[in-house]
Amino acid sequence: MTPDPTLAALRAAAIRTLAPQSGVQAALNAMGFLQADPIRAPARAQDLTLMARVSAYRAGDLERLYPVLDAEEDMLPNYGFMPRAVQALLHPREVPPTRLEAAHPELLPEVRAAVQGREEVHPREVAALLGQGRTVNAWGGQSSATTRALDVLHRRGELRVTRRVGGVRLYGPAPHLRALRESPLPEPERLRGAVHLLARLYGPLPEASLGYLIGLSHYGFPHLLPQLRAAFRQAVREDLRSARVDGLKYVWLPEQDPAQAPAPRGVRIVNPFDPLVWDRRRFAHLHGWTYRFEAYTPAPKRQFGYYALPVLHAGRAVGWANLSVQGGELITDLGLAPGVRQTGPFTRALDRELDRWRAFLGLEGLGDAARTASSQPAPPTRP
């Protein structure tokens, strides 16, 4: 009988998600799903996730390359980016009527007609086409309402995001999704593929956490959630490996065998939405302290900082860093978990990692000593 994995083996298996990729497309293909978030601290989450995996990646590369990538913006289990092969698991998607449609039933047909035959539209163009001076008061004005209507058509698969300009989504036709409405993948294939994708991206992880991810996937499968949950239960019985570690049941795909994971080395700084950090239950169990995302926490109540980035050393989360750019220089506010001290090898590895961040952010003075303010907030809550 194979012995149950240790916490160290699970940590090593989890960090394999940081395996280097040859480029942005390779990273998207390997991950299958890349969560997006608009906060820049010091860059958007999707850029931070890619820079952790793609050598020489620079902030904004995803937005710049998106028009030529095999990539789409969609929902599973949150909003983000995915290859078309993954998006094919999600469509055709049946979305119930929205509040916008209930309040203004004429708006969606008008927006649909306004984009008909156009290769690409900006939300402002649609608002202008529908008439100057017209407002939809409950939605903050005509421009806001048309943007929401475009979002609804996008979620239903009638439109795709063609690119972004200054962070604003531009929309165009989605013939590949129209083809899926006419000839979708078999439902069992779609559901099994989604379960395996989530298990591969976030695993090994507690079975309860994978179940939570499945529940979140009602955004991607609003009309198939019961079937998706059934596919999850079937995968746990038939496809996934499992073991109890400290009383917590973990599951993983056969190719994620913790016993085969190489020991991680070096320092890595990752973002709060990275697959390594996303599941807070797993994070607390594997690393011995509770990380919190505090961007929406009132400043006086923050323990870690506005956008604290977990810091890993040899695969173990040993602290967090708040990074900011001031006067063209990367400023690092570092906090350490209880019992962790800043040794020479750790400091040298941290300096190398911060050099990567300077290059990623396009800062001058690459290789200069970091201005690091070591801080010790109140000790993190233990699980």
151 occurs within a structural domain: yes
The pLDDT value given to residue 373: 45
The pLDDT value given to residue 377: 44
160 occurs within a structural domain: yes
The pLDDT value given to residue 131: 64
Q: Do residues 103 and 138 lie in contact, with contact meaning Cβ atoms separated by under 8 Å? A: yes
> pLDDT for 239-298, tens place per residue?
999 999 999 999 999 999 999 999 899 999 999 999 999 999 999 999 999 999 999 999
173 occurs within a structural domain: yes
The pLDDT value given to residue 161: 98
152 occurs within a structural domain: yes
Number of domains, the chain:
1
111 occurs within a structural domain: yes
C-alpha 2/C-alpha 359 separation (Å) is 44
Among 377, 372, 319, 381, smallest CA distance to 348 is for 372
Q: Could you check whether the bond before residue 92 is cis, i.e. omega within 30 degrees of 0?
A: yes
204 occurs within a structural domain: no
Q: Which two tokens stand for residue 250?
A: 């973990």
C-alpha 121/C-alpha 99 separation (Å) is 24
115 occurs within a structural domain: yes
- Residue range(s) defining the domain that contains residue 176: 99-181
The low-confidence residues of the chain, meaning pLDDT below 70, are 1, 131-143, 364-383
116 occurs within a structural domain: yes
CA–CA distance from 360 to each of 134, 148, 214, 322, 353 (Å)? 44, 33, 33, 16, 11
* CATH code for position 107: 1.10.10.10
The pLDDT value given to residue 275: 97
> pLDDT for 175-207, tens place per residue?
999 999 999 999 999 999 999 999 999 999 999
Task: Name the β-bridge partners of 268.
Answer: 312
C-alpha 357/C-alpha 63 separation (Å) is 18
Among 143, 147, 224, smallest CA distance to 191 is for 224
